Amino acid sequence: MTSKTITIREDIYKMLCSKSRSNIDKLKDLRGYVRLRNKEVLLKELYEKRRVPT
């Protein structure tokens, strides 16, 4: 399994580390925080990586 490193804001990190809520609730709260600079390029890369070789 590979791992990736991401950079997040301090307030988001603190929210993820809090123990008072479930992980699902934390992830739901994070929806909308991601801002894509080039959505089309990202989607193209994702589709290429997911494509099954024939």
Average pLDDT score over residue span 21-36 = 74
User: Considering its fold, how many domains does the chain have in total?
Assistant: 1
Q: How many other C-beta atoms lie within 10 A of the C-beta of residue 17?
A: 8
Domain membership flag for residue 27: yes
pTM beyond cutoff 0.75: no
In a domain, 36, yes or no: yes
Residues 10-16, mean pLDDT to the nearest whole number: 82
Q: For residues 26 and 15, is the Cβ–Cβ distance under 8 A?
A: yes
Name the residue range of residue 41's domain.
Answer: 10-50
Confidence check: pLDDT of 12 > 70: yes
Write out the DSSP string of 1-54: ---------HHHHHHHH-SSS-HHHHHHHHTT----S-HHHHHHHHHHHHPPP-
